[in-house]
């Protein structure tokens, strides 16, 4: 398994990955987290251009991806982050191909993300997750992320909780 920065040549494979994930979330897991044929696809090229997207691959096949960004999204300002005085970054759009979930790829991603934070002198990792995405919530809690006490934002009446992990 290898984790590396995504490049433009990965775009078609990433679109396939996200299509499979969106289908799984909407039709199998029945989680209405507002992922559809527009979002998150509209972000993929920008994530690659900003060099914030990483891919998880095995035998030159992309099995997952995630974004690490220090962009201070104004939508998240309604969340009372416990780490406001610390150096932080956001973990966004962590996905694993549905047929490969439960096989340790998310664990490898989390180890990479924690090492990234240490290597780049970050003190805190932030993320938001849809309130009904118990799969993701359980994963993040397993790796020490804590739900922010006064932390959520809404989009189209859907609630997204804020989580943090201090490194």
pLDDT digits (tens, 9 = 90+) for 118-164: 999 999 999 999 999 999 999 999 999 999 987 777 777 888 899 99
CA 72, CA 9: separation in Å to the nearest integer? 28
Work out whether strand 146-155 and strand 61-69 pair parallel, antiparallel, or are unpaired. unpaired
Would you say 106 and 66 are in contact if contact means Cβ atoms under 8 Å apart?
A: no
The Cα–Cα gap between 166 and 149 comes to 15
Domain segments of the chain: what residues?
Answer: 2-166
**pLDDT at residue 61, rounded to an integer:** 96
Residues 9-18, mean pLDDT to the nearest whole number:
96
- 2-166 is classed CATH 3.40.630.30: yes
**Count of Cβ atoms closer than 10 Å to residue 141 Cβ:** 14
The reported pTM is 0.92
Entry field: residues in the chain: 167
Q: Which of 32, 39, 52 is nearest to 116 (CA)?
A: 52
Q: What is the DSSP string of 77-126?
A: GGS--TTTTS-EEEEEEEEE-GGGTTSSHHHHHHHHHHHHHHHTT--EEE
């Amino acid at each position: 398994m290898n984790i590396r920065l995504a490049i433009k040549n990965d775009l078609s494979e990433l679109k396939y990955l996200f299509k499979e994930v969106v289908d799984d979330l909407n039709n199998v897991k029945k989680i209405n987290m507002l992922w559809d044929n527009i979002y998150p696809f509209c972000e993929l090229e920008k994530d690659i251009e900003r060099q914030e997207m990483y891919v998880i691959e095995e035998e030159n096949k992309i099995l997952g991806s995630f974004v690490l960004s220090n962009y201070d999204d104004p939508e998240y300002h309604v969340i009372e982050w416990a780490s406001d005085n610390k150096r932080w970054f956001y973990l966004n759009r962590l996905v694993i191909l549905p047929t490969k979930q439960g096989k340790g790829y998310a664990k490898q991603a989390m180890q990479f993300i924690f090492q990234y934070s240490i290597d780049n002198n970050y003190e805190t990792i932030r993320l938001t997750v849809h309130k009904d995405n118990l799969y993701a919530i359980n994963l993040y809690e397993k790796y020490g992320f804590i739900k922010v006490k006064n932390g959520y934002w809404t989009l189209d009446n859907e609630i997204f909780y804020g989580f943090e992990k201090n490194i």
